[in-house]
Amino acid sequence: MKPAQFEYDDPETEEEALDLLARHGDECKVLAGGQSLVPLMNFRLARPARLIDINRIDSLSYIKREDGRLVIGAMTRHTHLERAAEVAQGWPLLTEAIGWVGHAQIRNRGTIGGSVAHADPAAELPAAFTALDASFQVRSKRGSRTIGWDHFFVSEFTTALAPDELVMAVEVPALDPGSGAAFVEYARRHGDFALGGAAVTLRLGRDGHCEKATIALVSAGPAPVRASSAEQQLRGSTLDDSSIRAASVEAVKGLRPTSDLHGSTEYRIGLLRTMTERALTKAAQRARSST
């Protein structure tokens, strides 16, 4: 469990990092928190010829509000986000989701940018960002662009990032007033990747009917899954038990989560339905109490 040989750079600025990426893009890996990459390297399952360690680039670590949106620098540690009062206040779904990410030690090192760039379909944050309609600022020597969640997550461990591009920040729009959100998952042990989970947001109108719903599922497919037809179905409903149950059934229609030693496809579909139902129930309660 020792990694194969690799070259190592630890740039101090974004520019230097982008230079290195432009030069070595195809053969290098960016080292952020290292919580996924380093174990893969130790197993020699990942053998990058070069590591570009961006831990010294302080400018990438921040949490700020910009035009009502939350902007999270790529090198922000999970713990930092977990403990940020403004996040708990305005984007409680993120705070709730982060509580499920690994263990405290992992959250102390793991970064937000690292999590989204790694794009593990069983990870919590990509699903939470998906439910929140987040987008990702990326940059290369060639320029900058912002990619929405729907184009960013391509497949298992695959994103729309070009080899020379670096995730700079995540932008999360504000939740509308009257919204409630919830993150629910189940794993065999606390801190493990979820067997299934759901991140949802609900917005209630004055009359108590659902105006908007977003449902993103964890461990449901090769990338975070937005259950759009279930979302649609909820619109206009009173979010009573039966409409929530029906939406949960709708949410898992057509899903084929991967079977593995911890749970079959069939088990996972049932679990995802239950998680969706529980998340929707929780979020509806929260939305009601916020109005």
Partner 1 sequence: MKTTADRIDPVAINGIGTSPLRKEDWPLVRGEGTFIADFKRPGLVHAFVVRSPLAHAQFPSIDCTATLAAPGVLDVITANELPDRGRPIPTRQFADEGSNRFLQRPLADGVVRYSGEPVAVVIADSRYRAEDAAELLDIDYERLDVVLDPDDAVAANAPLLRPDAGTNVAGHLLVEMGAIDEAFAEADLVIKETFRIQRHAAVPLETRGLLAEYDAETESITVWGAAKIPHVNRTILARLLGWSDESRVRLVELHVGGGFGARGEFYPEDFLIPFAAIRTGRPVAWVEDREENLRATNHSREQVHRVEMALKKDGTFLALKDSFINNTGAYVRTHGMTVPALSVSMLPGPYKWPAYRGEFRSVVTNKTPGGTYRSPGRFEINFVRERLIDIAAHRLGLDPVDIRRRNLIDRTSFPHDLGTLYDGHPVIYDSGDYELLLDKALPAFDYEGLERWRSEPAAGGIRRGLGIGFFVEKAGPAEREYARVELNDKGDVMVYTGAASVGQGVETVLAQICVSHLGLPYERVRVIHGDTALIPEGMGAFGSRATMLGGAAVMRASKQLRKRLLDAAAEELEAAPADLMLSPEGVSVVGAPARSVSLKTLLSTSAGVIIEEHRFVCDLLGFPYGIHVAAVEVDTASGAIRIHRYAVAYDIGRCVNPVLVAGQISGGFAQGIGGALLEEFSFDANGQPMSASFMDYLLPTSEEVPDLEVLITEDAPSPLNPLGVKGAGEGGTAGVGAAIANAVSDALGSEVTRLPLSPQRVVELAGE
Binding footprint of partner 1 on the chain (CB under 8 A): 1-5, 39, 43-44, 186, 188-193, 195, 260-264, 267, 270-271, 274-275
Q: How far is the CB of 267 from partner 1 (least distance, A)?
A: 4
List the 69-73 sheet strands across, edge first: 63-66, 69-73, 166-172, 135-140, 143-148
Using the minimum distance from each CB to partner 1, give the nearer residue, 4 or 162. 4
Going from the C-alpha of 145 to that of each of 5, 15, 142, 158, 242, the distances in angstroms are: 33, 16, 10, 18, 42
Q: How far is the CB of 15 from partner 1 (least distance, A)?
A: 32
Q: How far is the CB of 188 from partner 1 (least distance, A)?
A: 6
3-state secondary structure of 132: coil
Cα distance between the two ends of the chain: 54
E strands, the chain, are 7-9, 28-31, 50-53, 63-66, 69-73, 135-140, 143-148, 153-155, 158-159, 166-172, 179-186, 196-204, 210-218, 225-226
Using the minimum distance from each CB to partner 1, give the nearer residue, 258 or 290. 258
Q: How far is the CB of 159 from partner 1 (least distance, A)?
A: 22
Amino acid in the structure at residue 9: D
User: Are 159 and 153 a contacting pair, CB within 8 Å?
Assistant: yes
Using the minimum distance from each CB to partner 1, give the nearer residue, 18 or 272. 272
3-state secondary structure of 206: coil
Using the minimum distance from each CB to partner 1, give the nearer residue, 73 or 102. 102
Using the minimum distance from each CB to partner 1, give the nearer residue, 39 or 254. 39
Q: How far is the CB of 167 from partner 1 (least distance, A)?
A: 24
Using the minimum distance from each CB to partner 1, give the nearer residue, 21 or 125. 125
Q: Using N-to-C axis directions, what is the helix angle for 241-251 and 265-290, rounded to 10°?
A: 140
CA 188/CA 193 separation, integer angstroms: 9
Using the minimum distance from each CB to partner 1, give the nearer residue, 148 or 191. 191
Q: How far is the CB of 264 from partner 1 (least distance, A)?
A: 6
Q: How far is the CB of 90 from partner 1 (least distance, A)?
A: 29
Q: How far is the CB of 43 from partner 1 (least distance, A)?
A: 7
Which tokens belong to 120?
């593990």
Using the minimum distance from each CB to partner 1, give the nearer residue, 56 or 262. 262
DSSP 25: G
Based on its alpha-carbon atoms, the radius of gyration of the chain, rounded to whole angstroms, reads: 19
